[in-house]
Chains A and B, each alone.
Chain A
């Protein structure tokens, strides 16, 4: 990784934070945005032709499973960081669901020390909300924040105990870090392996009703109201979840949420169409077309301010088996932009949801303003491509494989260094 002077020439700058949407050159110098237009044009440095492409602030993902330490055959910090860079992400917050769990300040510090060596996306750390992700005893949230944890989360585990959720929110607040919750009632999810509906009835798989998620959303909103704390829902996928979030926003509550990118494009029909392909086994599951349409609308109108790659890389060890035995999850870092852009058909919405929304959850601003850290993505929104490997991730579970999508990352710059590309637009 080397800091270069780079001129991104002739691209369409899309920066929702500053309201910029114009064609101009961008000068990157000493790791920062040095100029936009004006003196950027004609500056000396490595000039990259971005005409026809979109230049935007780099993306942030709030909960990728990088499986390191403990399950590094699936992913490690290096491969996850590279996968992020290939997907246009400049920041990836890794989930504490590792082995051992990142639930103490020593683990946070150790992970951050290793994360400093990666050459792709910046890797940051979310500390476990509860010890061992077991939903019982509280972790040392303050000490983890001091060690550099940027958020608290139990990853994919849903905290069912409302009293503990309440205490976690109250306890975490003074440390100034957001709390991520997966909204779900796991009793109601039961033994389900896909969304409960017409398709689950047809293919003979046990379903998880949308209500299981919606109860979790209702609980989280009630807890935000009770405590006044900020809550971030790490995955929402149903039409009613969206409706609840809209009403919470009208009430002025601080509840943000992320939609998994693939859920904006795929539905539960994919389980049938792929003939029980285990990469469609997900948590939360792929939902109905009605849910998908509502989710896309919510991302476009900002009700759901974030899109997440929901990156859970796995290999044949977890996926080459019977559908109900396969572990849930799919990769996502390298396809999130394409799924989001294809579903919304709107680069501004995509940038807002992939860059601005997630950064705001961390209390940051993702922008392309003069003086800002040069975290930049250049992507093509024109044309289509068939999703195909090889991927930078070690995972093999990509349900979007073979689908035709638009949106291709051409270049990713982090701290003024090129971490991916440049590809020919």
Chain B
């Protein structure tokens, strides 16, 4: 893959996505071994720079870097200098002075990873910027879908919930449409405004309209921290109209794949029976997350070539 950064899946080609997913598949078995480490990125420094809370994504990137033998160090909002009034660019200049190889950034402002990518020589991986993109999440989602469906070409993926405020949805929409899948979104009018159709998806307003034809149902988390007044009425009404429960799931294809990027609001987006049910692949998504992030670091940092036997699947 010939890029310095991964800022989003918008504009990333089908060949590049395939290369990332194929590489991730080959890395997957590293995590199955007793000694879960390969020397691929020995001596390289990967910084996780999280200006918004995260558990899963930060741990996943951290683990991915460590399993490739990179040195890692973490900045987070609570420990960072931002609280003392330092600008993002000044913090980044300081990190730059420590000669990192890659920075994984999460930030509440869309475009922040792009700003760093333009200004600095190291690789930037966007781990979520505002409501814009979260490409590694979409890649691990696509890897999980591919595991279950084979190809993504011609498949129908329903994304349900607060699509407008979801960077996970945006990245999935870009990636999936590039891979030839059809994406249908559903949610309250405030969270699935007509403008979403600019992204090449079909916009629906009831969950029942999208469940029946879907090969994949991706439920999004209600992000209370991003909601402005008047975006929804009550959690109860939301759950009644847009929650996935067993009754609704019964109308879906028998082999439908149910996904959620986590963390789940149990009983809101999906009932516990669905979250823990046999169609749910939520924990596979987490496992694939480490492999996808290993692949991204490997491809962007140009690690040592992988020997077929050593890492191959």
Count of chain A residues with Cβ under 8 Å from any Cβ of B? 21
- The contact of B109 among A197, A198, A202, A323, by CB within 8 Å, is A323
Stretch at the interface among B38-46, B191-199, B242-250, B258-266: B191-199
Q: Which residues of B contact A275 (CB under 8 A)?
A: 111, 114, 118
In the complex, how many angstroms separate the beta carbon of A345 from the nearest chain B beta carbon?
30
Contacts A320-B89, A323-B109 given; indicate if A204 touches B129 (C-beta within 8 A).
yes
B199 x A201 contact (CB < 8 A): yes
Q: Is A322 in contact with B195, judged by CB distance below 8 angstroms? A: no
Q: How far is the CA of A191 from the CA of B199 in the complex (A)?
A: 21
The 8 A CB mask of A323-340 against B (1 = contact, 0 = none) is 111000000000000000
- Is A421 in the interface zone, CB < 8 Å from B? no
- If A204-B167, A205-B132, A322-B111 touch, whether A191 touches B228 (CB-CB below 8 Å) is yes
Q: Which of A198-230 touch B at CB < 8 Å?
A: 198, 200-207
* Prevailing SS type, chain A contact patch: loop
Contact B199 A190 (CB under 8 A): no
Distance between Cα atoms of A196 and B133 in the complex (Å): 18
Map CB proximity to A onto B130-168 as digits: 1 under 8 Å, 0 otherwise. 111100000000000000000000000000000000010
A276 within 8 A of B: yes
Given that A321-B88, A322-B111 are contacting pairs, would A197 and B132 also be in contact in the complex, using a CB cutoff of 8 Å? no
Q: Which residue of A lies closest to B89 (CB)?
A: A320
User: Any chain A CB within 8 A of the CB of B14?
Assistant: no
- Inter-subunit contact A196/B195 (CB<8 Å): yes
Which A320-370 residues have a C-beta within 8 angstroms of B? 320-325
Instruction: Report the minimum CB–CB distance from B82 to chain A (whole Å).
Output: 11
A191: chain B residues at CB < 8 Å are 228
B228 touches A190 (CB 8 A): yes
Q: Which of A154-195 contact B (CB under 8 A)?
A: 190-191
CB distance from B83 to the nearest CB of A (A): 15
Contact status B114-A324, CB under 8 Å: no
Chain A residue nearest to B171 (CB atoms) is A204
Residues of chain B with a CB closer than 8 A to A205's CB? 110-111, 130-132
Q: Is the CB of A206 within 8 A of B131?
A: yes
Q: In the docked arrangement, what's the CA distance between A321 and B112, Å? A: 8
- Closest chain B residue to A209 by CB distance? B195
**Is B87's beta carbon under 8 Å from chain A?**
yes
* Chain B residues positioned under 8 Å from A196 (CB to CB): 195
If A191-B228, A276-B110, A320-B87 touch, whether A204 touches B133 (CB-CB below 8 Å) is yes
Flag B112-134 by CB within 8 Å of A: 1 or 0 each. Answer: 10110010000000000111110
B107 touching A322, Cβ below 8 Å: yes
A interface residues (Cβ-Cβ under 8 A, vs B): 190-191, 196-198, 200-207, 275-276, 320-325
Interchain residue pairs A-B with the least CB separation, the first 5: A204-B132, A276-B111, A322-B109, A198-B198, A323-B111
What are 29 A-B residue pairs whose CB atoms fall within 8 Å in the complex? A190-B228, A191-B228, A198-B195, A200-B195, A201-B196, A201-B199, A202-B10, A202-B198, A202-B199, A203-B110, A203-B132, A204-B130, A204-B167, A204-B170, A205-B111, A205-B130, A205-B132, A206-B131, A275-B111, A276-B110, A276-B111, A276-B115, A320-B89, A321-B89, A322-B112, A323-B109, A323-B115, A324-B111, A325-B109
Please name 9 further chain A to chain B contacts, defined as beta carbons within 8 Å, in addition to the given A191-B228, A205-B132, sorted by A numbering. Answer: A200-B195, A203-B110, A203-B111, A205-B111, A275-B111, A276-B115, A323-B112, A324-B130, A325-B109
